[in-house]
């Protein structure tokens, strides 16, 4: 038996020497072709394209060739690619690029012919489509009506929308109120450059009032102190309202003080508007007078964002009627979000309407997420061992494995082109049914592409396999650290799943590295605590080092935050100081604490980590514990001294 094993090993090594060079050379050529494309070197790209015609990633090379000369490309060339490679992600990308080129060239007939074949939506193309409809049928004003809906945005919009807005203005379909409405949206979002662009649509008599825009943005307090505004003009009043809002973002109490001294000079509508803005920022800082200020807003139209924070303020105050009212005023899409369905039902239950509450909980309980779990528990159920409802057969996995798009995705991953690999994989599975999705997820798991396994298995609607949704790679290695620190495996894996999807080389835009996504300062601090000599940031992505540093830090924040996994999870993402700041002086329900975290990213992160933990506990066969019990009660703020050198 050992002799057979040795022979097999020797044969495998020999085959590597035979096949790897032949395999590596085309891959090297592909990467060189990509470099040529990035350098916009068409001649060099053409040289490599000739060598790569039989490569599995040849469609990408041809896409690069066409992209570099798309404005001059003949329609038949582009169509030939789109028809020949319709199963490749870059085909839809090329079609989008081509439509934009056609829009710039105003080739509207060809544009309209190709547009229905585009799969992924694109805001720039949407505005070109409206331009095309106006050009081909000038008497139809419906496109302008649609363009006006697009106008009301706080964000910078594609330049393809500008001709539509100019036509709206020329035909007097864009009123002064419409312009000021978008101006407010932009300023509320802090998009001063967008606000500056919007002011050009104001008639000349309004221009002088908004000239102070940059001054207000940079120093709103100084602007108010100088009193250089003219309240007889609409623009002058809007600048004052902007100044109050700008101050309220960082110091709502100062904003209140300044507003109280001048508010009598403003109309009831303007006073209500400012009250809504101040209330928003009081709520985000968990100030107890937030609900009172929402009351001062009276009938002012509040955005869904403001209503969300009114609901959160009511939640923390346990004012269930105010919570119901805030949710009732949200638009239908916002009301359907899991958090508001859950809290609406909780309010009904607290107000003595259990039957109506249970109806809401029953629907929500069928969904696999944080609020679906909490809804199940409201009905008396706790997540048990999550057995798969379907396991793909070997034949199904083999069939999926020869899917050309998935083969291309795997090839891209092999070349460390992860972004391209993710896009190609996502494109490949977009029409898969549940059985195909689970087979593809298993294929990803076998290739140690845990992020693809998770994301693919997460898409199933009726058939599920939670072992693919919640994989636990490197568990033996991880347990060496969790056991020594007495950490809950399920919580640690729940966090790692959310941090990196088990991608060892993961690196965030802010510099966090490895599976446990450690920031450089945190990694250095923990390494010093652990006595790691000659530590350098280059080793942070190494598995053992990453687990050692990450689990130590998890233990640290858990111990210094009253043993609360919710506070520790928030601290891991946003820092211990912020997690403490968001506590109340008295104990509070953890679910209310989580939902009222001011940072969208951290709020979503904590929900997902704690939800993951419950699923992992079930997978690991831990004793049944409800998610609500895992969340626990958030204790009142501690007066204990904090570590002076804490990152």
Q: State the pTM of this model.
A: 0.92
Closest to 614 in 3D by CA, of 626, 598, 632: 626
pLDDT for residue 355: 97
| Residues 516 and 543: beta-carbon distance below 8 Å | no
Q: Quick one: pLDDT at residue 447?
A: 97
Note whether 552 and 529 are within 8 A (CB).
Answer: yes
Q: Where are the alpha helices (DSSP H) in 261-393?
A: 268-284, 290-296, 304-317, 320-328, 332-335, 338-350, 354-364, 370-378
Residue-wise pLDDT for 389-404, tens only, equals 899 999 999 999 999 9
Q: Please answer whether residues 638 and 580 qualify as being in contact, where contact means their C-beta atoms are separated by less than 8 angstroms.
A: yes
Q: Among 608, 634, 625, 644, which Cα is nearest to 497's? A: 608
Q: Which residues, 6 or more positions from 320, have their beta carbon under 8 angstroms from its beta carbon?
A: 314, 346, 347, 350, 351
β-sheet bridge partners, residue 513: 507, 518
Which contiguous run of DSSP H or E holds residue 588?
strand 588-589
Q: What pLDDT, on a 0 to 100 scale, did the predictor assign at position 411? A: 96
Q: pLDDT tens digit string along 23-73?
A: 457 899 999 999 999 999 999 999 999 999 999 999 999 999 999 999 899
Tell me how far apart the terminal alpha carbons of the chain are, to the nearest angstrom: 55
What is the helix (H) or strand (E) element at residue 122, kind and residue range? none
The CA angle 460-599-422, to the nearest 5 degrees, is 35
Low-confidence ranges of the chain (pLDDT < 70): 1-24, 385-386, 639-644
Burial annotation 411-438 (CB, 10 A radius, 16+ → b, else e): bbbebebeebbbbbbbbbbeebebbbbb
Token duo for residue 614: 């419950």
What pLDDT is stored for residue 644 in this prediction?
61
């Amino acid at each position: 038996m050992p002799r057979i094993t040795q022979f097999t090993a020797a044969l495998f090594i020999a085959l590597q020497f035979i096949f790897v060079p032949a395999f590596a050379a085309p891959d090297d050529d592909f990467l060189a072709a990509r470099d040529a494309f990035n350098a916009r070197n068409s001649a060099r790209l053409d040289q490599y394209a000739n060598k790569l015609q039989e490569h599995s990633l040849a469609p990408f090379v041809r896409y690069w060739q066409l992209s570099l000369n798309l404005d001059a490309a003949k329609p038949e060339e582009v169509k030939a690619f789109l028809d020949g490679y319709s199963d490749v992600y870059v085909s839809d990308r090329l079609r989008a690029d081509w439509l934009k080129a056609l829009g710039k060239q105003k080739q509207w007939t060809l544009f309209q012919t190709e547009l229905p074949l585009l799969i992924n939506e694109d805001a720039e193309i949407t505005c070109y489509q409206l331009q095309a409809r106006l050009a081909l049928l000038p008497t139809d004003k419906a496109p302008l009506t649609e363009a006006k809906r697009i106008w009301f945005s706080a964000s910078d919009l594609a330049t393809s929308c500008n001709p539509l807005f100019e036509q709206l203005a020329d035909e007097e379909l864009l009123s002064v109120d419409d312009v000021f409405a978008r101006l407010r949206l932009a300023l509320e979002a802090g998009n001063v450059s967008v606000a500056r662009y919007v002011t050009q649509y104001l008639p000349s008599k309004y221009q002088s009032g908004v000239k102070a825009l940059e001054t207000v943005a940079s120093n709103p307090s100084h602007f108010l102190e100088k009193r250089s505004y003219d309240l007889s003009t609409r623009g002058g009043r809007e600048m004052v309202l902007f100044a109050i809002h700008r101050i309220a973002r960082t110091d709502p109490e100062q904003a209140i003080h300044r507003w109280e001294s001048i508010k009598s000079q403003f109309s009831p509508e303007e006073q209500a508007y400012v009250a809504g803005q101040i209330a928003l920022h009081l709520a985000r800082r968990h100030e107890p007078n937030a609900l009172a200020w929402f009351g001062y807003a009276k009938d002012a139209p509040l955005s869904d964002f403001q209503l969300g924070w009114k609901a959160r303020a009511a939640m923390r105050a346990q004012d269930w009627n105010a919570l119901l009212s805030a949710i009732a005023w949200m638009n239908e899409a916002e009301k359907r979000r899991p958090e508001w369905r859950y809290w609406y039902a909780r309010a009904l239950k607290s107000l003595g309407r259990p039957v109506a509450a249970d109806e809401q909980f029953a629907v929500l309980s069928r969904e696999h997420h944080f609020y679906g779990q909490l809804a199940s528990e409201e009905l008396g159920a706790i997540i048990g061992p999550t057995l798969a409802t379907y396991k793909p057969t070997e034949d199904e996995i083999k069939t999926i494995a020869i899917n050309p798009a998935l083969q291309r995705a795997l090839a891209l991953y092999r070349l460390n082109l992860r972004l391209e690999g993710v896009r190609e994989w996502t494109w490949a599975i977009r029409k898969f049914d549940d059985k195909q999705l689970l087979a593809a997820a298993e294929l990803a798991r076998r290739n140690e592409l845990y992020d693809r396994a998770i994301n693919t298995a997460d898409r199933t609607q009726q058939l599920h396999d939670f072992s693919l949704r919640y994989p636990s790679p490197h568990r033996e290695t991880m347990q060496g650290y969790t056991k020594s620190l007495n950490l809950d495996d399920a919580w640690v894996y729940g966090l790692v799943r959310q941090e990196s999807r088990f991608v060892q080389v993961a690196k965030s835009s802010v510099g966090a590295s490895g599976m446990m996504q450690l920031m450089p300062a945190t990694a250095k601090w923990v390494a010093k605590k652990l006595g790691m000599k000659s530590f350098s940031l280059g080793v942070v992505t190494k598995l053992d080092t990453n687990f050692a540093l990450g689990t130590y830090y998890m233990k640290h924040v858990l111990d210094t935050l009253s043993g609360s996994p919710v506070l520790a999870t928030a601290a891991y993402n946003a820092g211990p100081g912020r997690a403490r700041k968001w506590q109340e002086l008295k104990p509070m329900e953890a679910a209310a604490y989580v939902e009222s975290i001011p940072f969208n990213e951290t709020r979503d992160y904590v929900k997902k980590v704690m939800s993951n933990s419950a699923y992992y506990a079930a997978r690991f066969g831990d004793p049944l514990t409800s998610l609500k019990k895992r969340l626990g009660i958030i204790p009142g703020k501690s007066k204990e001294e904090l570590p002076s050198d804490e990152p």
